[in-house]
Every structure is written in structure tokens, then in C-alpha cells.
Structure 1
Amino acid sequence: MEQAEELYLQGNAAYEDGQLVHAFRSYEAASALGHPDATNNLADMYLHGEYVGKNTKRAFQLFLVAAKAGVHEAMFTLGLLCENGIGVVVAPEQAYFWYHRSAKYQDSLAQYRLGSIYYEGLLNKKRNVAKALYWYGLAAQQGHLDAQYNLGYIYNNEQDEYVDYAKGRFWYKEAARQGDVLACRRLEEIYEIGLGTKVDKQKAHYWGEQAAQFECMRGENNE
């Protein structure tokens, strides 16, 4: 296994230097020796067509090998592939299975996708807001911005039993502190009209200014 690890590290170094041929061959050799992380990286190169021709079916097969060996990044990617029908037919149940496996490793991306599966009703065509809140909550606690925004939205806009304006403001603020423009705009509206709280023009102005600032920064970064 020492040889496999050495080849894997060589592959990482080559990839970082942009030497894709060397990286591919190193990962391929390490994968053949049973190195799970090398197999995952090799799958990623097939998925994106880096050096080798894009081959989503081969990528899926390799991700499956890596996932079964315990690589949670591969588990998450399998979830994405199954959900979107890449390299395999669309399979929501399999997507859920792999996201759930990955989420056990505290993968916030997988937790977020599970929340979306439940909220959008992708599994058995039934929405489950309570379970969506649970999984979004786990992801949000780890700093997942979209999960934080979605919690803010649900707590402010869902059916009465799920409405909690204080929690909604809290999660919008968490997302806003990470530079989310929409969260800032929602907070501006909340304080402007007094949704679940008293009208506060000063706070409304503050969050409007924050939104404008983040929009300006985003524009500068895109130049």
C-alpha cells in the first residue's frame, strides 16, 4: 500500500502543477493497487474530461468503487450523478441513499441536498418540511450558505406550523454575514414592513446598504 500512497501523492502534486497526463497515470496506477482516494480522483478526471476523454459511465463506475471503500466525497458525487442522471439513469432513491451515506460523515453538501430532496418532494413526490428543516439545519450549522438562506425562507414563508419569524431572521442574518445579497434584501423587507417584528427603518436601511455593498463587490470581482 506504500507504493499506492506514493503514486497517489505524486498524482496530487502533478495535478496541482497542471501536469494532467502525469496525474492521470499516477492515479490510474494507484487505483489499480486499491487506493480509494486515487480512484475517486481518477473518476473525477473522467467525469470532467481532464486529459482523458469525458466518460461519465466510467466515472460512475469508479466513484462507486471509491464510495464502497469509504470515500465520502465519492458518495456525495454518486448522489449528484443519480439525482441528475449523469452516467446513469435518473434515480432519486439512489441519490438519497448516497447523500445519506455521505451525510453520516458530516458532509454539509450532502446534508443540504437531503434537505432539498425533502423540501422539493423529489422522493416519492412528497414534500416533508420537517425533515427538510432537519437536514438544512445540520448543513447550516456547518456554515452552508444556501442552507442558511433556505431556513430563513422556510421559517418566514411556510405553513403556520413551521413559521418562526425569530429563527427566520436569525438564519437570514447568518447567510447575510457570508455576503448573500438575497438574505440582505429579505432582512431589509422584514424590517421595512415589520414581518414578525416591529418596523425598524434604521435596520431596514442597514440591510439595504449591506446588499448594495455586496452587489458592488460581486460586480468588481466579475470584471
Structure 2
Amino acid sequence: MDKRTEFFGWFKQQGLDNIELWLEEFELAEKGMEKAMINVALLYKQYGFFEEMYNLLTTVSEHKNSEAMYELANCYIEGLGGKGSEQQAFSLYKDAANLGHRDAMNNLADMYFNGEATEVDEKKAFLWFEKAAKHGVPEAMYTLGIMYEQGLGTQCNASLALEYYKRSADLQYAEAKYRLGMIFYSGELGQQQNDKEAIEWFRKASEHYHVDAIYNLGYCYEHGHGVIQDVDRAMTYYKQASMLGDREATKRIVIYYEQINLKEAAKWREKLESLESFKGFDEN
């Protein structure tokens, strides 16, 4: 059986669509087209065929293809198929970053920042986050905001911290939107405390299903911070947060219904108990 026929049979077994397009991609991969090889490798990854994935990504990585290096490093970090290590991932991220791969720059910076497969080195982390940010990586911009805010790897600079948070938020990074909400809610980084501005940022973060932002919207509506007090709307936000696993939001719902509807309170108390049980299991 030739490789094309073998791939066709495998593809049919998975019940996938667009078989003609993928057969063309497979044929290009067989001819050594690196982009096609990476695409087929990622298809194998999606369906758990890790040996085939590793073979393709390793081959392309040996050609100094930064995308293949980055994807192979990700697979090592995830420990797929029991292969690889953090040290191998670190080396691949570093090689890909030096070849200009922006996400590899960010991941390499993370490893320096957290001391993964290397010593903690905040200055090197800062430099690589800066490079990634210059290439438009919103996560890197957000982390630079943290580093400038806390003086990690650089001097504290409130205005630059705020600038990087805003740049990251402009690129739709949810954590940056939430952080800006907290900055205006608490009056941090030299900003005037401003509930209305905070709520706008919490709203923007909530569009990404950011659970803490959703909870905070509930809290603001419950207590009338920056908005007209509206307990019904507060409960709507608390219920959204609860559905995302937030225990504090669930507690607020239980407290509310204990005053007006004991049957409904019992239902939400059961939900709270399940969340608490899950928390205990998670910690073990």
C-alpha cells in the first residue's frame, strides 16, 4: 500500500471532510513542501497520531524552519506521546525566536520568567517579551505591563505599564482588559478611581468569557458601583460566572435566593456544593 492510499484510508477512518484538499496537501508534503508538512503534522496532532506528527515536525525543524521548531516545542511542552522535555522545548523556542518567530519569542520569555528548563532570568525575559511585543504579540505586551508595574527585569514605570496594558487590550487580549478594569476600579498606576471606566473594561473582558470580569459586573450592579443598582441584572452576571465555575458568584446567588425563594436557593446551594467538591478534588 502506497503512502497516499494509506493516508486516504486513515483520513476516511476519522470521518473528516475536504478529503480532496487534504490529499493535495499530503502529496505536497510528500514532495517536501515544508508548509504542507507542518499542516499534515498538525492534522495528525489533532487526532492523536503523535508518531507521524513528530516525524514530520522533526524533519522540517532540521531544515531550520521556525514554524516547525515552534510547533515541535509546543508538542514537547504538552508531553504528547510521552516524548520530549522542557529542555528540548526551550532549545527549540530559542532557535525559532532567533529566526524571528514571534510566538516562540513570547514562549521563550515565559520560560526565562518562570524558570522552566532554565534559571529564572527576569532581564532576559524582559528583553524577549520586548521583542515579541514589537512583533505584535498581545500576551507579551500584557506581561510587559506586569513587569513595568512590579519592577521585574526593569525599573517600575506606571505610565509604561498602563501603555502596554492598553496596547494589549487593543489587540483583544482579555487579561489586559480585565487588568485595566481593576486599575480604574481601585485607582492604581496613578489613575483616578473611576467605576464607570472600570465597568467598561469589565464589559469588554466579559465578551471573552473572562469569569472574574463577569463576577465584577455582577458585584457592581448589586452594589450600584458606577451603575444604577440592579439586583436582577447582578444575578444574571453572577449566574453566568457560576456557569463558568465561579464559587463566589454562586455564593452570592444562594444568599440572594435564601431571602426570596428557598427552593431556588436549594438548587444553587447544590451547585455550590458541587463546585466546592470539585475544588477539593482539584487540590488533591
- TM-score between the two structures when normalised by the length of structure 2: 0.71
Cα deviation digits, residues 200-219 of structure 1 (max 9, x gap): 22222222222122112221
Deviates more, 1:77-86 or 1:160-169: 160-169
- Flag the 1:11–1:73 CA change in 2: closer, same or farther, 3 A: same
Partner Cα separation in structure 1 for residue 96 and residue 134 of structure 2? 17
2:80 is aligned with 1:14: no
CA distance in structure 2 between the aligned counterparts of 1:113 and 1:143, rounded to whole angstroms: 14
Moved more, 39-48 or 88-97: 88-97
Greater C-alpha Rg: 2
Pairwise CA distance, 1:9: 2.9
Tell me if structure 2 keeps the 8 A contact 1:4–1:33. yes
CA distance in 1 between counterparts of 2:86 and 2:222 reads: 48
Instruction: Check the 8 A contact 1:42/1:62 in 2, yes or no.
Output: yes
Write the letter of the residue equivalent to 2:283: N
* Unmatched runs of 5 consecutive residues or more in structure 1: 194-198
- Please name the residue that 1:213 is paired with: 274
Displacement of 1:189 after TM fit?
1.5
Residue 196 of structure 1 corresponds to: none
Give the count of matched residue pairs. 218
Judged with a 3 Å threshold, the aligned counterparts in structure 2 of structure 1 residues 124 and 176 are, in CA distance, closer, same or farther, namely same
DSSP-derived class of the 1:70 partner: coil
Q: Which residue matches 2:35?
A: none
Which residue pairs with 2:210 in the alignment? 144
Match of residue 175 from structure 1: 241
Deviation at 1:162, TM superposition (A): 3.7
Paired amino acid for 1:166: D
Find the counterpart in structure 2 of residue 31 from structure 1. 97
Higher relative contact order (CA 8 A, sep 6+): 1
Q: CA deviation at 1:160?
A: 7.6
Runs of 4 or more above 4 Å deviation: none
CA distance in 2 between partners of 1:128 and 1:85 (Å): 25
Please report the TM-score for the alignment, with normalisation by the length of structure 1: 0.88
Aligned-pair identity (%)? 39
Q: CA RMSD in A?
A: 2.1
- Following superposition, the deviation at residue 190 of structure 1 comes to 1.7
Match for 1:181: what amino acid?
A: R
Distance 1:121 1:109 in 2: 18
Q: Tell me the CA shift for residue 125 of structure 1.
A: 4.5
Quick check: 44-53 or 82-91, which moved more? Answer: 82-91
Q: SS of 2:65's equivalent?
A: helix
- Gaps in structure 2 of 5+ consecutive residues: 1-62
Report the counterpart of residue 18 of structure 2 in structure 1: none
